[in-house]
Amino acid sequence: MTATALLLIDAQRNMFEPDPVYQGPEILARLQDLAARARAGGALVVFVRNNGRPGDPDQPNTPGWEVHPALAPAANEPVIDKRIPDAFYQTRLGGVLAERGIGRLVIAGMQTEYCIDTTVRRARSLDYDVVLAADGHSTYPGGLTAAQIIAHHNGVLAAFAEVRPADEIDFAAAPAPDIRAEGLTAADLAAIHTGLDEWRVYEQWLATGEGHPYWPHTHPARVSDTLKGLWDTGFKPRARYTDPPRWEMGVARAFMQPLENIPLVFRRASLQAVIGAMDHLLQNPRNPLSPHISQIGEHVWLYDARDLRLVYVPSVVRDKEGRERHHIFLLWLAPGVQVRNPFLP
């Protein structure tokens, strides 16, 4: 399981007094329980606080603006200020989550049709695994009753999140992978852990044809062509790939994210370095004579060169026809691809 954060949205005093949201006391108790279980399970608790306009009940630095005292953020728990329903828009939320290696978000709070709806959709678009506490968000009546608004959004948002009762949400932290390599941050380890989860899905797909991996291909040339397309927008991948070499190749979603985030003007050299490392691995990903290759965990190997550190899993699985499928699954670039600005010394 990837690293989890509980996102408590707009759990501010004005939502509970003097004019409480629908089932206000029950919602507050449920948010308290979610926060307590998240802390006990080692999950990060993040508070998102709305900054209202002058005269609004959540105007900054007024009593109604504060996080409800029953929830009392701990000293190490971020409080993120926002000004529109999207908790990610022009806030530091994305950076806080990336720094902690968060890939799974449990979302609860207020209001259902505004900040909950918008943030759930945005989080899913940003590739987070999203869990919505079905009975952990609320609102005020409008054209529909509050209960109808909540039920409607639980149904609609099931297309973007796993929607389940608050008391069924699990915060138990999965053990971190036992990686023996210097210089890896908590975010690196979380990304590697998430990649290992994806590798297991990929192996199941190779073995049985079932499941939906992020990268439903095996030919390493397809990976190479995809990377070339990231720096050359006019590049056209080949229409057909010949029989693959002995080692096939899969890719974790986390592996692609830092590559896609490199500014276009700087991508070519960085991605060419990655392709060169891939070509090296395809010769023998467990080569004991290579000065660049070493095993750093139970399944995890490292290609360590001056300009990049590529984390991967070499593995063999039998498919449903009984054939051996030798594959390299690319997990992560740690500490990331170095981006050189040619205009700086």
Give the CA distances from residue 291 to residues 66, 206, 246, 274, 304, in Å, rounded to whole numbers and listed in that order.
56, 31, 22, 17, 8
Which run of H or of E encompasses 271?
helix 267-283
CA neighbor of 325 nearest in space, from 212, 195, 209, 198: 209
CA neighbor of 313 nearest in space, from 184, 197, 199: 199
Q: Residue 270: which pLDDT band, with cuts at 50, 70 and 90?
A: confident
Spacing of C-alpha 150 from chain mean position: 26
Check 35, 115, 300, 330 and give the catalytic one.
Answer: 115
Strands (E), 165-308: 247-251, 293-295, 301-304
- Which CATH superfamily includes the segment(s) 3-168? Isochorismatase-like (3.40.50.850)
Token pair of 276 as six digits: 């060169």
Q: DSSP string covering 117-176, please?
A: HHHHHHHHHTT-EEEEEEEEEE---SSS-HHHHHHHHHHHGGGTSEEE-GGG---PPPPP
Q: Hey, do 3-168 and 186-333 end up sharing a CATH topology, with the first three levels equal?
A: no
Q: Which residue has the tokens 């390493």?
A: 220
Check residue 148 and give its pLDDT.
98
Round to whole Å and give the CA distance between 158 and 174: 25
Check residue 173 and give its pLDDT.
65
Which run of H or of E encompasses 312?
strand 309-318
Check residue 63 and give its pLDDT.
95
**Is the alpha carbon torsion for 39, 300, 333, 288 positive or negative?**
positive
Q: Residue 136: which pLDDT band, with cuts at 50, 70 and 90?
A: very high
Instruction: Give pLDDT tens digits for 155-212.
Output: 999 999 999 999 999 997 666 678 888 888 878 888 898 899 899 989 999 999 888 8
Check residue 345 and give its pLDDT.
47
Round to whole Å and give the CA distance between 213 and 92: 30
CA neighbor of 33 nearest in space, from 62, 11, 1, 59: 11
Q: Is 115 an annotated catalytic residue?
A: yes
Token pair of 234 as six digits: 């006019």
For the chain, the structural domain boundaries read 3-168, 186-333
Q: At what angle do helices 253-261 and 220-231 cross, to 10 degrees?
A: 20
Query: Of 32-41, 233-242, 282-291, 293-302, which gets the smallest average pLDDT?
Result: 233-242
Query: Of 70-84, 235-249, 329-343, which gets the smallest average pLDDT?
Result: 329-343
pLDDT, mean of residues 137-164 = 96
The DSSP call for residue 21 is: P
Token pair of 64 as six digits: 């109604």
Q: Are strands 44-50 and 79-82 parallel, antiparallel or unpaired?
A: parallel
Strand partners for 144: none
Q: Candidates 3.20.20.70, 3.40.50.1000, 3.30.2310.20, 1.20.1740.10; correct CATH number of 186-333?
A: 3.30.2310.20
CA neighbor of 185 nearest in space, from 98, 305, 106, 259: 98
Torsion angle of the four alpha carbons 178, 179, 182, 187, in this order, in degrees rounded to the nearest 10: -90
Q: Which residue has the tokens 């390299």?
A: 328
pTM: 0.65
Write the single-letter amino acid at 149: I
Is the confidence at residue 241, as pLDDT, over 80? yes
Token pair of 175 as six digits: 């053990």
Is the confidence at residue 6, as pLDDT, over 90? yes
Instruction: Give pLDDT tens digits for 280-290.
Output: 999 999 998 99
Token pair of 303 as six digits: 């290609």
Check residue 343 and give its pLDDT.
53
Q: Which residue has the tokens 């994305």?
A: 94
Give the CA distances from residue 314 to residues 211, 286, 300, in Å, rounded to whole numbers and listed in that order.
20, 7, 8
Q: Which residue has the tokens 């206000």?
A: 24
